[in-house]
């Protein structure tokens, strides 16, 4: 997701595929009874005390985009045996053509990486996605520009070229923060970036784009290409939403809550490991995905690990007001096509208790 602006566009293009999600749910409604992945015979665990083997249950979790440090906790939970301890043999998958949300909503897989904005949009159209945990406690995305473009505030967007992916949410967010400074969003030139990444695009076509600092911002540091970063959360409390989150669907919660509980217990342990051991966690991700740039992974992990939990009482915790505020903001921007019940969009019930029990 975070490595290029192409990845950002893939993950933010959430307004269009809702109909596809609904079709997928209809097509799969007679399937495996809620998408608890393939139960059964994919792995074995040996108990040291007895020497006996216990069968592990095969479970899949699908990523939102290519592996990156948003996902380190999942890889750590596999590597450190946290899933195995809960009786699970977990496979981490790349998303299919329809994306992670469609795979989770249809029951093809029980768990996936999603975003508060896409779940909010899905819920108002009857797609039963539910967020189980906030991967990162505060929004680390924002508008970024090379320092030579002199974009120090939203007012400076005027007369500049914005590179994006053509979603209504982009202009809505831009307008929302520009309005605070009496700036005019119509004076921003919108350019479709195509397949160009941030660094190519700002040299060739655009002045600024929407990025996640944990990856593209850190990459800018490593490339010695300084940027100015305007975090959207700094301009509106409503824009400090959860991105990304771990999602499931309502049928999965109803049919097999114990699986959800076991998966989330191990996942929380994996992210706690990444919080406590960023260097070792980075090495785990690099080993699992050798195509990644090791220097970028290590620097990104060092920056991001403290931000997973940040000021929350525990990793993954979601505040009702964050879901309510962002839903109301989306409604105010005419980005929702129905009523949004924020209380049904997320749950903290499957996070382990603070004492780890």
pLDDT tens per residue, range 81-140: 999 999 999 999 999 888 999 999 999 999 999 999 999 999 999 999 999 999 999 999
Residue 350 lies in a domain: no
Based on the fold, state whether residues 112 and 186 are members of the same structural domain. no
User: Do residues 85 and 121 share a domain?
Assistant: yes
pLDDT at 352: 95
Asked if residue 164 belongs to a domain, the reply is yes
Domain of residue 255, residue span: 5-138+242-344
13 and 108 in a single domain? The answer is yes
pLDDT above 50 (res 14): no
| Residue 349 in domain | no
- For 102-124, give one letter per residue: b (16+ CB within 10 A) or e: bbbbbbbbbbbbbbbbbbbbbbb
Question: Is the residue at 59 inside a domain?
Answer: yes
pLDDT of residue 44: 52
Query: 239, 269, 296 — which closes off a domain?
Result: 239
Judge if 164 and 134 occupy the same domain.
no
Average pLDDT over residues 146-156: 98
* Shared-domain flag, residues 82 and 217: no
Cα–Cα distance for residue pair 336/122, rounded to 1 Å: 9
Q: Are residues 48 and 66 in the same domain?
A: yes
The answer to whether residues 108 and 225 belong to one domain is no
Same domain, 221 and 97: no
Judge if 26 and 115 occupy the same domain: yes
Q: What is the pLDDT of residue 63?
A: 98
Q: For the residues 304-320, what does the mean pLDDT come to?
A: 98
Quick count: other Cβ atoms within 10 Å of Cβ 138?
16
**pLDDT, mean over the chain:** 87
Mean pLDDT of the 128-153 span: 98
35 and 113 co-located in one domain? yes
Query: Looking at the 3D structure of the chain, how many domains does it have?
Result: 2
Identify whether residues 233 and 253 lie together within a single domain.
no
Boundary (domain end) residue, out of 180, 206, 239 = 239
User: Where does a domain end: 239, 264, 292?
Assistant: 239
pLDDT band, residue 43 (cuts 50/70/90): low
In a domain, 266, yes or no: yes
Indicate which CATH number applies to the domain containing 332: 3.40.190.10
Q: Reply yes or no on whether the pLDDT at 12 is more than 50.
A: no
* 88 found inside a domain: yes
**Does 351 map to a domain?**
no
Q: Is the pLDDT of residue 52 over 60?
A: no
300 lies in some domain: yes
133/232 same-domain check:
no
């Amino acid at each position: 997701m975070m490595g290029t602006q192409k990845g950002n566009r893939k993950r933010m293009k959430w307004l269009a595929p809702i109909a596809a999600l609904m079709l997928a749910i209809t097509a799969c409604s007679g399937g495996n009874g809620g998408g608890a992945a393939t139960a059964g015979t994919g792995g074995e665990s040996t108990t040291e005390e007895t020497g006996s083997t216990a069968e592990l249950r095969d479970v899949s979790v699908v990523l939102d985009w290519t592996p990156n440090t948003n996902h380190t906790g999942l890889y750590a939970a596999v590597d450190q045996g946290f899933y195995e301890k809960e009786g699970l043999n977990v496979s981490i998958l790349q998303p299919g053509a329809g994306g992670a949300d469609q795979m989770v909503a249809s029951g093809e897989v029980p768990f996936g990486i999603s975003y508060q904005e896409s779940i909010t949009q899905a819920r108002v159209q009857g797609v039963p996605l539910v967020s189980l945990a906030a991967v990162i406690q505060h929004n680390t995305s924002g508008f970024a520009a090379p320092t030579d473009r002199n974009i120090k505030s939203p007012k400076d967007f005027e007369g500049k070229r914005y590179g994006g992916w053509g979603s209504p949410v982009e202009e809505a967010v831009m307008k929302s923060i520009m309005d605070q400074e009496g700036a005019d969003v119509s004076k921003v030139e919108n350019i479709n970036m195509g397949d160009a990444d941030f660094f190519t695009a700002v040299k060739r076509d655009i002045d600024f784009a929407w990025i996640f600092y944990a990856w593209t911002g850190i990459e800018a540091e490593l490339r010695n290409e300084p940027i100015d970063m305007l975090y959207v959360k700094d301009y509106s409390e409503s824009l400090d939403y959860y991105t990304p989150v771990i999602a499931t669907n309502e049928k999965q919660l109803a049919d097999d809550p114990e699986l959800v509980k076991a998966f989330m217990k191990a996942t929380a342990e994996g992210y706690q490991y990444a919080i406590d051991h960023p260097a070792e966690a980075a090495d785990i991700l690099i080993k699992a995905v050798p195509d990644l740039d090791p220097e970028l992974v290590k620097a990104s992990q060092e920056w991001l690990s403290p931000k997973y939990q940040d000021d929350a009482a525990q990793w993954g915790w979601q505040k009702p007001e964050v879901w309510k505020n962002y839903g109301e903001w989306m409604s105010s921007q005419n980005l929702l096509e129905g009523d949004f019940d924020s209380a049904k969009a997320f749950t903290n019930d499957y996070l382990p208790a603070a004492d780890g029990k």
